[in-house]
Amino acid sequence: MLNKLITLIVIGSIYSTQVFAQQNLSALDVEQPEGWDDELALTIPEDLNPDPDILEIELEARVADIEVMEGLTTPVWTYGGSLPGPLLRAKVGDTVIVHFRNSLPEPTTIHWHGLRVPNDMDGVPGVTQPPIPPGGEFRYEFVLPDSGTYWYHPHVNSAAQVGWGMYGPIVVEDPSDPEVFGDELVMVISDMSLNDLGEFLPPDNGGDFGDLFGREGTTVLVNGKIMPTLKVRKGKQQRWRIINASRSRYTPIGLRGHMMTRIGGDNGLAGRSESAARFVLTPAERGDFVFTPANDPGTTALMRLGSVNRGFGTERRPEDLMYIETVDLPEVTPEEIPTELRTIEPIDISNAIEKELEMTIALGENGTNSVEMGFNGIPYWNMQALVARVGETHVWTLSNNSGFNHPFHLHGYFFQVLDDERVPEWKDTVDVPDGETLRIAINFEGRPGMWMYHCHILDHARVGMMGQLWVGPEGFTGPVPDLSIPMGMD
């Protein structure tokens, strides 16, 4: 009898320590579920350079038949034949060399969105380099000064070319990032305008209204896939680096019943982490999130892009994005995500030069374009370059009463939004909502040359909402070179 009791106690305590141990496993003690990100795999290019500090690749722009919609082929415009283009991954301080060849039927370039490259590597046709004709080549080479999530895309006929599939992700790693952020998943969200046969609708589909509203595709993609499935384990965190590569669509990121922890964006980590049910990414914006799966094991949830109002008549039904399958394994305890992430010194604006840019839309006031957008009422083809000098700090006031939101993007430099309510961070693209005014501070720390700024709703840029900034060398007083943008090279 006593023996039996002892046995029971022993068995009982073994059992309870086992249960206890399982419940006490933390996120870092277990792996992601097997094959967790298989459906979201990105193409990894071959690194031709044995030096660990140099990423050297060949990249060809070409049309490739891709099964975007099930059972149908679409003649996608690609980098290297994949959708999205290959993931360029390197560490901060590395050099990137890209031997680029254009095998598309029209000219193109590559713009390295957000990377602080030398001016002649910025990929703006007629401004920083000639457009690369069909059959032409160009060698891009630059150092990666900043960690973070970036992307590349053309700067020629970009509303059309991006809409046809021309985009690829870039991750610049910071080896000092804490391990608790979880395993990394890079997600490129985009959309395409396809008919029932999988063929592209014309890039100017919808005419002036399409320009005015900004064209959102019929088909939403994550890493080139319709409704892929991502596997997660309850409590096991994942770090999602998300790039919105859509030509016009705003993408709210969130999953029902979950809080997203945002740790950074355009230029690596933000000053602090913050949590919310959803975070909206504008076209070209990036978000760096820690996702903590909270659904019950053995269930699958639908992740949707919630509806977002970006101005008059743009609000749509939510769109399905992907499935989140919570595998049937015991839950683990999530790691604590630190609040303080990085010291972001505010830019000293005490001697700043002020500029004002109003984002404007004119309707039916011009014989050729009945929708004409611009800054301060001037479309890019008539605009004078803004002037700055290396060493100067500027404060730009961006105002918008145009009826639509516009994601403002500046090439070449990061800026800080002057708003104490926001988590401090460096940005290159920011939403300027309709009816609002934003002040941004920029320090022109180097790299003189002609840089672009524009709305990253690419249809808006095309109809005029784009301008140039001449950053002269320190103390520059000479005349600004006339590098007006050739028509159509947007």
**CB under 6 A: which stretch of 169-177, 196-204, 369-377, 451-459 binds ligand C2O?**
451-459
- Could you tell which of ligand C2O, Cu ion, none binds residue 409, using a CB distance below 5 to 8 A set by kind? ligand C2O
Nearest approach, Cβ of 412 to ligand C2O (angstroms)?
10
Among 409, 427, 439, 460, binds ligand C2O (CB under 6 A): 409
Name the residue among 241, 254, 287 with its Cα closest to residue 427: 287
Q: Where are the beta strands (DSSP E) in 48-136?
A: 54-66, 74-79, 88-91, 95-102, 111-113
Cβ proximity to ligand C2O, 156 vs 232, nearer residue: 156
**Tokens 């590569």 sit at which residue?**
245
Nearest distance, CB of residue 211 and ligand C2O, angstroms: 17
Q: What is the DSSP string of 218-282?
A: SEEEETTBSS-EEEE-TT--EEEEEEE--SS--EEE--TT--EEEEEETTEEEEEEEEES-EEE-
Q: Does residue 321 contact residue 305 with C-beta atoms inside 8 Å?
A: yes
- Which is closer to ligand C2O, CB of 239 or CB of 460? 460
Q: Which of 88, 115, 128, 153 binds ligand C2O (CB under 6 A)?
A: 153
Q: Which is nearer to ligand C2O, 236 or 456 (CB)?
A: 456
Residue type (1 letter), 428: D
Q: Which of residues 306-335 bind ligand C2O (CB under 6 A)?
A: none
Q: Which stretch binds Cu ion (CB under 5 A): 32-40, 344-352, 419-427, 455-463?
A: 455-463
Interaction partner, residue 215 (ligand C2O, Cu ion, none; CB < 5-8 Å by kind): none
The answer to whether residue 452 forms part of the interface with ligand C2O (CB under 6 A) is yes
Nearest one of 312, 265, 301, 207 to 429, comparing CA atoms: 265
Closest distance between ligand C2O and the C-beta of residue 220, in Å?
19
From the list Cu ion, ligand C2O, none, partner contacted by residue 284 (C-beta under 5 to 8 A by kind): ligand C2O
Q: Which of 83, 88, 113, 449 binds ligand C2O (CB under 6 A)?
A: 113
Q: Which residues pair with 401 in a beta bridge?
A: none
Residue 433 and residue 437: Cα distance in Å, rounded? 8
List CB contacts of 14: < 8 A, sequence separation 6 or more. none
Select from 90, 284, 301, 362 the one that contacts ligand C2O (CB under 6 A): 284
Considering only residues 18 to 37 of the shown chain, the ones binding ligand C2O according to CB under 6 A are none
What DSSP letter does each residue of 328-391 carry, written as one string?
SS---BPPPPPSB----PPP--TTPEEEEEEEEEEES-SSS-SEEEEETTB-GGGPPPEEEETT
**From 31-39, 265-273, 307-315, 448-456, span contacting ligand C2O (CB under 6 A):** 448-456
CA distances from 480 to 121, 412, 425, 444 (A): 20, 18, 31, 16
Sole binder of Cu ion in the list 132, 192, 455, 485 (CB under 5 A): 455
Residues 6 or more apart in contact with residue 36 via CB below 8 angstroms:
183, 230, 231, 232
Could you tell me the smallest distance in angstroms from the CB atom of residue 481 to Cu ion? 27
394 binds ligand C2O (CB under 6 A): no
d(CA 19, CA 28): 18
Least distance between ligand C2O and beta carbon 454 (Å)? 6
The answer to whether the beta carbons of residues 418 and 441 sit under 8 Å apart is yes
Quote the tokens at residue 359.
């984002």
Q: Give the residue with the Cβ less far from ligand C2O, 291 or 408.
A: 408
Structural contact between residues 374 and 485, judged by C-beta atoms closer than 8 angstroms: no
User: Which single residue is written with the structure tokens 């592209």?
Assistant: 200
Instruction: Say which amino acid occupies 237.
Output: Q
| The only residue of 411, 427, 439, 460 in contact with ligand C2O, by rule CB under 6 A | 411
Interface with ligand C2O, residue 462, by CB under 6 A: no
Enter the tokens of residue 446: 């180097």
Residue range at the interface with ligand C2O (CB under 6 A); choices 14-22, 300-308, 449-457, 474-482: 449-457
117 binds ligand C2O (CB under 6 A): no
Given 215, 239, 247, 454, the residue binding ligand C2O (CB under 6 A): 454
Among 89, 111, 116, 462, binds ligand C2O (CB under 6 A): 111
Instruction: Verify binding: residue 286, ligand C2O, rule CB under 6 A.
Output: no
**Count residues contacting ligand C2O (CB under 6 A)?**
10
Would the CA dihedral through 393, 435, 371, 307 be positive or negative? positive
Nearest alpha carbon to residue 84 among 13, 170, 193: 170
Name which of 31, 487, 430, 47 is nearest 244 in CA terms: 430
How near is the Cβ of 461 to ligand C2O at its closest, in Å? 7
Q: Does 460 bind Cu ion (CB under 5 A)?
A: yes
- Shortest Cβ distance from residue 77 to Cu ion (Å)? 23
Give the CA radius of gyration of the chain.
24
Give residue 76's identity as a one-letter amino acid code.
Answer: V
String marking each residue 378-417 x if it binds Cu ion according to CB under 5 A: ----------------------------x-----------
Instruction: Provide the minimum distance between the beta carbon of 409 and ligand C2O in the complex, in angstroms, as a whole number.
Output: 5
- Phi first, then psi: what are they for 299, rounded to 5°? -125, 160
Residue 458, amino acid: L
Binding-site ranges for Cu ion (CB under 5 A): 406, 455, 457, 460
Q: List residues near ligand C2O by CB under 6 A.
A: 111, 113, 153, 155, 284, 409, 411, 452, 454, 456
